[in-house]
Amino acid sequence: MKVSTILDQIDLGSIALPEFQRGYVWNREQVRGLMRSLYRKYPVGTLLVWVTPAEQASARGDGELAPGVVKLLLDGQQRITSLYGVVRGKPPRFFDGNPDAFTGLFFNLDDEIFEFYTPAKMKGNPLWVDVTWLVQVGVGDAIQRLVNEPALKENFKAYIARLNAVDQIKEVGLHIEEVTGPDKTVDVVVDIFNKVNSGGTKLSNGDLALAKICASWPEARAEMRQKLSRWQRVGFRFQLEWLLRVINAVLTGQSYFTSLEKVEVTLFKDGLKKADKHVDRLLNLVAARLGLDHDRVLGSRYSFPLLARYVDRRGGQQMDYQERDRLLYWYVNAMLWGRYSGSTETVLAQDLSLIADPKGALDRLIAQLRQSRGDLTVRPNDFLGTTKGARFYPLLYMLTRVWKARDWGTGLELSSHLLGNFSRLELHHIFPKALLKEKGFAKAERNLIANFTFLTKETNLVVKDRDPAEYLPEFASKHPGAIESHWIPMDPALWQIERYHDFLAARRELLAKAANTFLKGLLEGQIPDVPAHEALLTSRPAGPTAEEEEEDRVLKAMNDWVSSQGLPSGEFDYEVVDPDTGDVMGVLDLAWPDGLQQGLSRPVALLINEDEDTEEAAGQAGFQFFTKPNAFRRYVEKKILAGQAEATSAS
Q: Mean pLDDT throughout 270-299?
A: 90
**Angle at which helices 392-402 and 265-290 pack, to 10 degrees?**
60
Q: CA-CA distance, 357 to 351, in Å (whole number)?
A: 12
**Are the CB atoms for 308 and 246 separated by under 8 Å?**
yes
- Higher-confidence residue of 396 and 530: namely 396
**Are the CB atoms for 446 and 429 separated by under 8 Å?**
yes
Which value, in Å, is the radius of gyration of the alpha carbons in the chain? 29
- Give me the phi and psi of 76, to 5 degrees please: 125, 5
Q: CA-CA distance, 578 to 580, in Å (whole number)?
A: 6
The whole-number pLDDT of residue 200 equals 47
Q: Mean pLDDT throughout 474-497?
A: 96
Read off the pLDDT band of 474 (50, 70, 90): very high
The whole-number pLDDT of residue 166 equals 94
25-48 per-position pLDDT tens digit:
787 888 989 999 999 999 888 888
Strands 571-577 and 584-592, bridge-based pairing: antiparallel
Q: How many CB atoms lie within 10 A of CB 530?
A: 13
Q: CA-CA distance, 101 to 85, in Å (whole number)?
A: 9
The whole-number pLDDT of residue 340 equals 87
pLDDT at 501 over 60: yes
pLDDT at 276 over 80: yes
Read off the pLDDT band of 418 (50, 70, 90): very low
The whole-number pLDDT of residue 446 equals 85
Helices and strands counted in the chain (H then E): 26, 13
Q: CA-CA distance, 73 to 76, in Å (whole number)?
A: 6
Q: Mean pLDDT throughout 210-234?
A: 83
- Higher-confidence residue of 149 and 437: namely 437
Q: Mean pLDDT throughout 368-387?
A: 87
Q: CA-CA distance, 75 to 66, in Å (whole number)?
A: 21
- Higher-confidence residue of 416 and 488: namely 488
Q: CA-CA distance, 59 to 52, in Å (whole number)?
A: 11
292-326 per-position pLDDT tens digit:
888 878 888 899 999 999 999 988 678 888 899 99
Q: CA-CA distance, 7 to 3, in Å (whole number)?
A: 6
CA angle 625, 600, 25 (to 5 degrees): 95
The whole-number pLDDT of residue 196 equals 61
Q: Mean pLDDT throughout 523-533?
A: 67
In 3D space, the residue among 222, 213, 174 whose CA is nearest the CA of residue 190 turns out to be 213
Strand partners, 114: 107
Q: CA-CA distance, 618 to 607, in Å (whole number)?
A: 9
**Are the CB atoms for 83 and 135 separated by under 8 Å?**
no
In 3D space, the residue among 80, 177, 96, 165 whose CA is nearest the CA of residue 131 turns out to be 165
3-state secondary structure (DSSP) of residue 212 = helix
The whole-number pLDDT of residue 94 equals 80
Q: Residue 376, class by beta-carbon neighbours within 10 Å (0-12 exposed, 13-18 middle, 19+ buried)?
A: middle
pLDDT at 532 over 50: no
139-195 per-position pLDDT tens digit:
888 888 888 787 777 788 899 999 999 999 999 999 988 878 776 666 676 666 666
CA angle 334, 337, 338 (to 5 degrees): 75
The whole-number pLDDT of residue 547 equals 43
330-367 per-position pLDDT tens digit:
999 999 988 887 668 889 999 999 999 988 999 999 99
Q: CA-CA distance, 174 to 382, in Å (whole number)?
A: 61
Q: Mean pLDDT throughout 562-589?
A: 76
Read off the pLDDT band of 92 (50, 70, 90): confident
pLDDT at 533 over 60: no
Binning the chain into helix, strand and coil, the percentages to the nearest 5 are 55, 10, 35
Q: How many CB atoms lie within 10 A of CB 49?
A: 21
pLDDT at 270 over 80: yes
**Are the CB atoms for 278 and 308 separated by under 8 Å?**
yes
Average pLDDT of the residues of the chain: 83
Provide the percentage of residues in the chain whose pLDDT is more than 90.
Answer: 39
Q: Mean pLDDT throughout 400-419?
A: 78
3-state secondary structure (DSSP) of residue 178 = strand
**Are the CB atoms for 60 and 21 separated by under 8 Å?**
yes
